[in-house]
Amino acid sequence: MRVEVAVLRHVEMPLRFRFRTSFGETTIKSFLLLELLSSGLSGFGECVAEAGPFYAPETVGTAGHVLSEFLLPLVVGAEIASPEDFESRAARVRGNRMAKAAVETALRDLFAKASGTSLSAALGGTRTAIEVGVSLGISPTVADTVENVRKHVGEGYRRIKLKIEPGTDVERVKAVREAFPSIALTVDANAAYTLATADRIRALDPFGLDYIEQPLHHEDLADHAELAKTLRTPICLDESIRSARDARTAIALGACRVINVKIGRVGGHGEALRIHAVAARAGVPLWCGGMLEAGVGRAQNVAVASLPGFSKPGDTSSSSRYFEEDIVTPPLEATGGLMPVPTGPGIGVAVRRDVLERVTVTRKDFRA
Ligand code: NPQ
Ligand code: MG
């Protein structure tokens, strides 16, 4: 398809709650939204780079630069044969996976729309609804944590993930497990521990967690493999897995037994599919991570989470948890912990132009 125009927007949407992790706190979702136009169709991709480089190295600023100077010139005015064709053209650009994923996912949406198929079907998805879990930020007190879990268990979420940091970690997990003996429970440290402080991680072993997510350094595999030998609970890697290559190495080393796949972190749906293949061969379950996405990114996530290897509930909870008003319709909402997979062409949800205009901070158009 010939991509005629690219529209890159910087969007800001207030979050309905403060989201605190071991690396910082957010109250506003600030992101880039890319629209690619071809023959009257629009494909949308949401860039998951955040305002600051605290979860990953990329930011809204660096992604905007790489998109404007290096990636969009590869597609605007060009005849693109497939999303894979874009991947090969962009292979010369190293790293910057979140920026690449914005283009690649927008192309996936565009190509699926052009062929009248849902993005889920185009990717090989097999589920009509996906199981969803929820990721709960670090609350002020242990009692708040238990109450927040109670609320979300009541809403039917299929797995509760607690963000943790060294300090009140064990106390929180213990209190939640005592109050809810049988829920699927996990923790995510966002790399806040080291082998030297890993006794705190080992202290979580008796609580029957489904997995412990990214306890150690964001670029590490070897220490995770060492830690895994001393744990019964599986380790799930998030930050450390940037590619199928990383996934293969991590599995071979014994660094993880579960993988959190985020489309943006790995550079797009193509790489997510390659991780899916690597994991299937090794019998490693996947789940779809979340970056507090607005509707476009959330729909892109739901599509990939419909693949068979995504066998654990993802961080793909209802849009209404995060935003008063989303940029897509119908809103992506889970009931009883299940989110229906859209069946319409492409991402299967329509962008609400009026809402998008209101939340757009800046807009740049690229033409051949
Ligand atoms: C994780 N997400 O799995 C991430 C990290 C994260 C849902 O736990 C703004 C934008 C704030 C993206 C905070 C969840 C964020 C963000 C945390 C992503 O590690
Ligand atoms: Mg994580």
Q: 31, 58, 265, 291: which to mutate for ligand 1, most atoms within 8 A of CB?
A: 291
What is the model's pTM?
A: 0.97
Looking at residues 247-260, what average pLDDT do you find? 98
Q: State how far the Cα of 12 lies from the Cα of 293, in Å rounded to an integer.
A: 11
Q: Give the pLDDT score at 336.
A: 94
Q: State how far the Cα of 137 lies from the Cα of 342, in Å rounded to an integer.
A: 28
- Size of the chain, expressed as the number of residues it contains: 368
Q: Do β-strands 134-136 and 5-21 pair in parallel, antiparallel, or remain unpaired?
A: unpaired
| Cβ < 5 A residues, ion ligand 2 | 188, 213, 238
Q: Give the pLDDT score at 328.
A: 98
Looking at residues 267-295, what average pLDDT do you find? 98
* Of the candidates 191, 135, 162, the residue with the CA atom closest to the CA atom of residue 313: 135
326 lines ligand 1 (CB under 6 A): no
Q: State how far the Cα of 25 lies from the Cα of 258, in Å rounded to an integer.
A: 26
Q: 27, 46, 135: which to mutate for ligand 1, most atoms within 8 A of CB?
A: 135
Say which amino acid occupies 41. Answer: L
- Distance (angstroms) between ligand 2 centre and the Cα of 358 equals 30
Q: Give the pLDDT score at 75.
A: 98
> 368: pLDDT confidence band, cut at 50, 70 and 90?
confident
pLDDT tens for residues 12-27?
999 999 999 999 999 9
Out of 163, 229, 312, 364, pick the active-site residue.
Answer: 163
